[in-house]
Amino acid sequence: MSGICGWTGLSTSTDEQHRRIEDMAGALPTTAHGGTPPRTVTTAGSALAVTATRGPGWMHDEGPTHAAVCGRPYWSDKELATLSERRGPAYVLAMEYPRRGADILQAMHGAYALVVIRDNPSETFLAVDRLGICALSYAVSGNGLIFASTADALSRHPETPHMLRPQALYDYVYFHMIPGPLSAHVGQERLLPGHCLRFRPGNDAVPAEYWRMEYAEDTHTDFQALKQEFLELLHTSVAANAAGDEVGAFLSGGTDSSTVAGVLSRIADRPARTFSIGFDAPGYDETGYARIAARHFGTDHHEYYVTPQDVVESIPLIARSYDQPYGNASALPTYHCAQLAREHGIGRLLGGDGGDELFGGNSRYAKQYIFSLYERIPKKLRQGIIEPLFGTPTDDTGGLLHKLRRYVAQAAIPLPDRAESYNLLMHFGPSNVFAPDFLHDIVTDHPLQILRATYRNAHASNTINRLLALDLKQTLADNDLPKVTRMCELAGVEAAFPLLGEGLIEFSARLPARMKVRGTRLRYFFKKALADFLPPEILTKSKHGFGLPFGVWMNEYPPLRDLASDSLSQLRTLNIFKRDFLDSLTNRQIAEHASYYGTMIWVLMMLALWLETHPTAGYPPG
């Protein structure tokens, strides 16, 4: 729970500078559960603030170069690591950045966001870690630069633009979050993972990439050697993330969380404390698998069953806590799990996020393998005979011929577009969802443009690794990491991600794609390497996670239905969505298929509540 904010190149009175930086710092991630008050420094035309949960060393404000860092960085350079232990990471940056420039980032690892401000030459440098665990937003105002860990803190500065970006709202409904570098507001941007920004007055603020996942597959693939290396890296990363605080682990009963919890139990001097969430709803409760893992590893396990009333009470709090509209419903059980851990004295929670994206655990990887078989047919045969005969859908909705036509039609779509075949917004159709006036200036293809660019620019030579690179950005950095980090902050707990350790990332990049996904077998190497460690029930279960029975409970629990209905009613006053679409969602469609249509209701409800709780983001009424 730490953050940074400030600005450069914007002059005002000394008193006003102090007032503004204190106001911005007040919107940084909460320190209500511990940590130090914001530390601030102001100079002529610039200001800097940092909040941290751990002692000094996160700001250096002496001499011509100031620096601030948040997160948990570490150094691969032994000399810098020693210096950081003595003086703090901000001191290292202030001393070394003038000499090394952006190259200093090659020696910096872990989770971090940072800023360096120099007087001569006048220069501001921003950066975030390789995977985007920490965030940093910024806005240019004249010759000045405003920056903050959250858009909420950024918007506290009076010169920060506040107008909503309609395209970002469209992208949100498509993705259920706003993918970086876009922000919900025009004129505000976010640094992408592995990116930095050097700003000098009078010049454009153009981010630069300093790191990207390089998939260079190792031809030496002796399984036993790879397994030994993997297990050593895994234990090292869990141990590094478990040092120094009261540590526990999420335990959903899935492969990743069970692995992290299991390793934690092996290295701890007492039973590892694990935490899980359950639901009294058929098809949603995974606590049975969590208990299997807890018994297997002998953890001190704790559970909490979320109720419909918990959902009603938590939804407004969660919507308000995000600095961008965020519609992943699993944020709610994540919050309650972190809250449970906090009640048991936990200061840091280890999550299993990243395993899917590093080792091939997403179910769509197997699905794309099935489609890849079609691509082995000679192109002339596909385009000349098969697609004219079977590539056009018909009204027939059953039988082998219908399935064949659907298969051919989807297989003919190139990646990554094909992976979006089941997108919920596209199922409804944008013209059926959005008001015509809103849609007039929207690029409806923009979400696919984002996906295509990430997929195309991946430094990978095969489909699986390209999909993994895509998911590192879209699924992990834009969706899962903000879910866990923000919900943990809200509960007063720090999140950590051992599977995203530097050694494991590099190992994954070297591991051949065929060992990640073999045919339709997901996580082939990962599961085989842990076959004598994880319970067999965990190894063979289907992927689930902390799902939320929102649609089902909305039908059954009137207060939840009323909250959703009231929220969507607020959207009816804005010229964004078609009113008949909103009406059909809450009336006919939710009764027909609660879980499916409930997803769209959740996404729109969270948008409505976010707009309500972020008054500077007002949208012109229709």
Which range has the worst mean pLDDT, 62-76, 322-336, 380-394? Answer: 380-394
343-388: per-residue pLDDT in tens?
999 999 999 999 999 999 998 898 888 887 777 888 778 777 777 7
Contact 314, 277 (CB under 8 A): no
pLDDT at res. 261: 98
pLDDT at res. 564: 94
Contact 505, 349 (CB under 8 A): no
Residue with more model confidence, 622 or 587: 587
Query: Hey, where are the domains in the chain?
Result: 3-209, 550-617
Top mean-pLDDT range of 5-14, 252-261, 358-367, 418-427: 252-261
Helix then strand then coil, in percent of the chain rounded to 5, is: 50, 15, 35
Question: Taking the alpha carbons of 62, 36, 152, 70 in that order, is the dihedral positive or negative?
Answer: positive
**Average pLDDT taken over every residue of the chain:** 90
- Which of the 8 DSSP states describes residue 114? E
Contact 73, 96 (CB under 8 A): no
Place of tokens 């969507």: 568
Bridge partner residues of 145 (DSSP): 8, 140
Structural fold of domain 3-209: Glutamine Phosphoribosylpyrophosphate, subunit 1, domain 1 (3.60.20)
Question: Taking the alpha carbons of 325, 327, 328, 332 in that order, is the dihedral positive or negative?
Answer: positive
535-558: per-residue pLDDT in tens?
999 999 876 655 799 999 998 999
Instruction: Grade residue 31 by pLDDT with cuts at 50, 70 and 90.
Output: very low
Does residue 53 have a pLDDT over 60? no
* pTM as predicted: 0.93
